[in-house]
A = this chain, B = another copy of it.
Amino acid sequence: MKNSKEKIDMKTLTITGLALCFSLSLSAQEQTNTAAVQKIRQEGLENSKVMDIAFQITDVAGPRLSNSPGLKRAQDWAVRQFTSWGLKNVHLEAWGQFGKGWQIDKYYAATTLPYYHAMIGAPKAWTPGTKGAIKSEVILIKADTITDLLPYKGKLAGKIVMFDQVTIQPLQNSYKADAVRYTDAELAKMAEAAPQPQGQRPRAGAANNMMAQMMKMREIRAAMASFMLEEQVGLLLSYGRGNHGTFFTSNGASYALDAKPVAPELEISAEDYLHILRLLRAGEKVEVEADIRTSFYDQDPQGYNVIAEIPGTDRKLKDEVVMIGGHYDSWHSATGATDNAAGAAVMMETMRILKAINFKPKRTIRVALWSSEEQGLHGSRGYVAKHFGDPKTMVLTKDHKKISAYYNLDNGTGAIRGIYLQGNTAAGPIFQEWLTPFQDLGAKTVTAGNTGGTDHQAFDAVGIPGFQFIQDPMDYNTRTHHTNQDTFDRLAEEDLKRAATIVASFVYHTSEREAQIPRKELPKTPEVPKQ
C-alpha cells in the first residue's frame, strides 16, 4: 500500500547478490543454495506482499492489545490468510490463561478553563472509563507517601486530579535525528563482541535490597491506587512521556481476572500535561471535561497464538521443526505497526515466499504469531512450556530434541543488518555463510552478543537455539515503540521486503541443513536464592 521512496533497481541488486554468493559460497565449509536464494530474492524483493500484510494487521485490524477484539480480528485474518496460501495445521492455539481483554470505546478530554483546548491522550490500558461525561476543576496533589494523601480525604469524589511530580522535566528541543541506521563502525563493533554468559541472577544481597525497594514502591503505588478508588476520584491525569504529540503508553491496572479495581486513569501528551501543571503551580484555575468509555472482555480468558506450518517432506527429518515467529499483540493507543506488526508481517511474508517458490522442506517449517508478549512474553513462554520444556525445572519434552532453531523478529521496521548469536558461538560460521548472499542488502554482521526483551528468550531459556536479528534502530526508541504514533506510516517498505527475503533464506537453509543448528550447553536449573 505504501509507495516506497527508497525504491532501487531490484534487478541490479539480485545480480550483485548472486555474484557475491557464487564467489564466496564455494570457498566456505557451510553451503548456501544459490538457486534457492535466487528464487527467494526474486519472490521477496520483486513480488512482495509484506506491505499488504502489514496493512491488514494495522489499519484493518487495529490496536491489538492482548485478548482484545482487535487482536482477535487480526488472529482470525491470519488464520484465513495462512489457509489461503495453502499452509497446513493452521490454528489458534491456547497457551494458557491470560486474563481480561480491554479496549477503548470513547476518548475525549479537554481543558475548559482557562480556555478550551482538546487534549491528546488515551486511557491507560485496563482502566475503567469515567462515569459518563464529567467536568471538574483539576486538583493538584502533592504526595510522596500515603500520609501525604490524608489531607485530601473526602475532597476528591468525582474530581479530576493530577500529581505534582517533581521528577517531570521541561521538554527539550531535539538536535538529533529521530531515526538512525547503524553505521559500519557500529556494526563492526558488534561483530567483535565477546559471547555473553546466560543472564546471571543478581547476588542474593543485592537482589533482596532491590526486591525490598521495589516492594516498597509497589506498596505505595497500590495504597495510592486504593485511596483514589475509595475516594471515588473522577479521573486521574497521568504524564505521557514523549514529545510533539507523540506519547508512550502503558497499562494502568492488571489484566488478571481478579485484578483490584482502580480509578479511571488517562495518559495525556507531555505538552498537555505540562500545560496544566504549569498553570496549577502558578495558582491558575484549570477545569477539564472528559468522557471516556472502555470495555473489558473476560468470557474467554485463555491466551492464543496463531500457528501454521509448511510440513516437512524428508522421511527422516520431517518430524523435526524450524520455527519462526514474532509477537502479534500491541499496545492500545495505536496500531502497533513497528511493535510488532512489522515482525509479524515479515514472518507471514516469509511463509508466503516459501510457498510461492513451491519449497518442499526437509524439516517442517512452523510460524507462530505470539500474543501477550507485551505483558511478559506469555504467549511464547506458554508455548515453549507446553511443547519443549519448563525453564524452572528444566524438565524437557521429547520434542525438545526435534527443534533445530527459532528465529524471531521484533525490533521495529529497520532493515536486518545481521543476527545476534545469543552466546551460541558454534552457530556463528553457519550464519556468516548464510548472510553472504545478502551483503549487498547491508546484512552481514554476526555478533556473539545477546539481545533481550522478546520471544526468542523463551526458547533460549530451555536451551533451544533462539535468535533475534539485528535491525537498524530507525525511530523505534524516539517515536514508535509503545507510542500513539506507532502507525502504518512508520513502516519502511524496502526494509521489510529485504527482511522477509533474508529470513526466508535462513529458514530454507535451516530446514535443508543435514544437521540441526548446534546448541549451547543446557541451562542449569536456576538456584533458589537463599534467604
Contacts and interface: CB of A to CB of B under 8 A. Distances in A.
Given A59-B275, A62-B117, A174 B70 contact: no
A104 interface: yes
Contact of A279 (B60, B108, B171): B60
A487 interface: yes
A275 B59 CA distance: 6
B114 A106 contact: no
Contacts of A70: 115
A274 interface: yes
Interface in A448-484: 474-475, 479, 484
Given A1-B282, A245-B269, A171 B489 contact: yes
A84 interface: no
A56 to B, nearest CB: 9
Interface stretch (A176-184, A215-223, A297-305, A362-370): A176-184
A383 B492 CA distance: 52
A307 interface: no
A246 interface: yes
Contacts of A103: 115-116
A63 B115 CA distance: 9
A55 B278 contact: yes
A274 B489 contact: yes
Interface string A234-251: 000000000011110000
Interface of A: 1-3, 5, 55, 59-63, 69-70, 73, 103-108, 110, 114-118, 120, 122, 169-181, 244-247, 269-271, 274-275, 278-279, 281-282, 284, 474-475, 479, 484-485, 487-490, 492
A114 B77 CA distance: 14
A181 B274 CA distance: 25
A5 B172 contact: yes
Contacts of A474: 173
Given A59-B275, A284-B60, A489 B175 contact: no
B3 A170 contact: yes
Given A110-B106, A170-B2, A489 B55 contact: no
Nearest to A181: B175
Given A60-B279, A180-B175, A489 B170 contact: yes
B118 A122 contact: yes
A249 to B, nearest CB: 13
A475 B174 contact: yes
10 contacts: A3-B170, A59-B278, A60-B282, A107-B118, A120-B120, A170-B489, A174-B178, A175-B180, A178-B178, A278-B488
A180 B179 CA distance: 16
Contact of A106 (B116, B284, B484): B116
A106 B62 CA distance: 26
A56 B177 CA distance: 32
A271 B108 contact: no
Contacts of A179: 173-175
Nearest to A270: B489
Nearest to A174: B178
A339 to B, nearest CB: 15
A171 B246 CA distance: 15
Contacts of A484: 245
9 closest Cβ pairs, A-B complex = A245-B245, A62-B115, A173-B179, A171-B489, A107-B118, A2-B170, A244-B246, A244-B485, A174-B178
Contacts of A281: 1
A485 B177 contact: no
Given A107-B118, A173-B179, A176-B177, 6 more contacts: A1-B281, A3-B170, A62-B115, A107-B110, A171-B490, A245-B269
Contacts of A269: 245
Given A62-B117, A245-B244, A271 B489 contact: yes
Contacts of A55: 278, 282
A367 to B, nearest CB: 24
Contact of A173 (B63, B122, B284, B490): B490
Contact of A485 (B62, B63, B181, B245): B245
